[in-house]
Amino acid sequence: MLWIMRVSGFFSAAMVMVVISPSLQSFPPAEAIRSSHLDGYLRFPAGIADAGARGRFSFRQALPFRNAEECGGPGDNNTVCNPSFVHVAITLDMEYLRGSIAAVHSVLQHALCPENVFFHFLVSDTSLETLVRSVFPQLRFKVYYFDPERVQGLISTSVRQALEQPLNYARNYLAGMLEPCVRRVIYLDSDLVVVDDIAKLWRTGLGSRTVGAPEYCHANFTKYFTVRFWSDPRLARTFAGRRPCYFNTGVMVIDLVRWRRFGYTRRIERWMEVQKGGVGGGGRIYELGSLPPFLLVFAGHVAPIDHRWNQHGLGGDNVKGSCRDLHPGPVSLLHWSGSGKPWVRLDSDRPCPLDALWAPYDLYGPAP
């Protein structure tokens, strides 16, 4: 329960709710990090320091981490191709940078073998590499530049402007951006924290599937597409012979070998072209951002992963960002999908109760 007990007294009422809840099963941090204290403050690289809404801010440096004894070391092969590495991909941009850093921190805190976790950061601003190296000096990672122009002409308007950002579509291109020796990757959104050993998710079997994710078959799948989509027999029969279920693309295990072999990047792009009217015409077929093309390609063909790995929706709906409760069942990952982000609500002194579970991983603070 250590990861819960670190939350400040300001959120004690919320923590009582969480601790007594039988649905929340927490996991202690690995031996890798021995203390909750954090080293000094680190300022943004030049050009970033004044980007915060409240003036100058900085990130604190996380303590060093190391593998537990049973892990051993990663060996002499420190390149991205080391077969013992767990590969995690996540985006970095200014708007969600605070969340991305917290997500990385949470992975390291709970990993039994944090030295074996290799991060792949997708960025549209390469200056962020300096920041990452300052906050996590020991971290094994590589930065990949994603050119916004690659998808700018394919993006259509969405219910929320954040869903229209080009970097939100970078997950579609992982198979081509990462080295060919990287055969599998875990993709994580920037608005979540992991409270279990990421290696457990890494070892999930996908069978003959390309993508694994928690599925939610009770959700109203039809609402993710427009009347135009369902009224056009050519489009509606896309799901013929499939039992399509909603899944959240913010947490996925991806078999990159199969993805490359079957050309899934291009398949997703084709649906984006249909949405834009470049193929077939006739109007919009969905209202959300990058999710519907994934559903069109993979729904009904997803390797199901335990729901504990994506307790999603904690950010509320896509408009008001209202507070949400946890879903029943154990928890390995908490995901603030939706419009409400915990760092925004905490800073505005209007937090939801569960935002207290994100706070211990936040390394962001005012410059001294």
Dump pLDDT digits (tens) for 113-170. Answer: 999 999 999 999 888 999 999 999 999 999 999 998 888 777 766 544 555 678 889 9
Tokens 């605070």 sit on residue: 98
Task: Identify each DSSP E strand in 208-341 by its residue range.
Answer: 211-213, 215-216, 246-247, 251-255, 303-304, 333-335
pLDDT tens-digit series, residues 260-295: 999 999 999 999 888 887 444 457 888 877 899 999
Q: Is it the case that residue 187 has pLDDT exceeding 90?
A: yes
pLDDT of residue 200: 98
* Helix, strand, or coil (residue 57): strand
CA-CA distances (angstroms) from residue 208 to 18, 203, 303, 309, 310?
38, 15, 8, 20, 22
More confident residue, 156 or 353: 353
Tokens 């917290």 sit on residue: 102
More confident residue, 178 or 368: 178
CA-CA distances (angstroms) from residue 148 to 95, 155, 178, 278?
15, 10, 17, 19
* SS3 per residue for 91-120: EECCCCHHHHHHHHHHHHHHCCCHHHEEEE
Please tell me the least confidently modeled range out of 32-41, 166-175, 329-338.
32-41
pLDDT of residue 4: 41
pLDDT of residue 42: 45
Contacts 24+ apart (CB under 8 A), 325-332: 325/354, 326/21, 326/23, 326/24, 326/354, 327/23, 328/23, 329/23, 330/23, 330/24, 330/25, 331/23, 331/24, 331/25, 331/26, 331/195, 332/27, 332/194, 332/195, 332/196, 332/200, 332/201, 332/306, 332/308
Q: Which of 344, 365, 342, 343 is nearest to 39 (CA)?
A: 365
pLDDT of residue 24: 42
What does DSSP assign to residue 311? B
| Residue 48, token pair as written in the block | 């970033």
Contacts of 235 (CB under 8 A, 6+ apart): 228, 229, 274, 285
**∠ at Cα 51 (46, 53), nearest 5°?**
155
Q: Is it the case that residue 332 has pLDDT exceeding 60?
A: yes
Q: Which of 98, 268, 245 is nearest to 174 (CA)?
A: 268
More confident residue, 21 or 76: 76
pLDDT of residue 14: 40
Q: Is it the case that residue 194 has pLDDT exceeding 50?
A: yes
pLDDT tens-digit series, residues 232-260: 999 999 999 999 999 999 999 999 999 99
pLDDT of residue 339: 87
Dihedral angle of Cα 85, 89, 95, 97, to the nearest 10 degrees: 0
More confident residue, 131 or 21: 131
Q: Is it the case that residue 221 has pLDDT exceeding 50?
A: yes
Give the mean pLDDT of the chain. Answer: 82
pLDDT tens-digit series, residues 40-78: 334 444 334 444 433 345 899 998 999 998 897 666 667
Element (H, E) at 122: strand 117-123
pLDDT of residue 27: 39
Give the DSSP per-residue string, 124-151.
S-TTHHHHHHHH-TT-EEEEEE--THHH
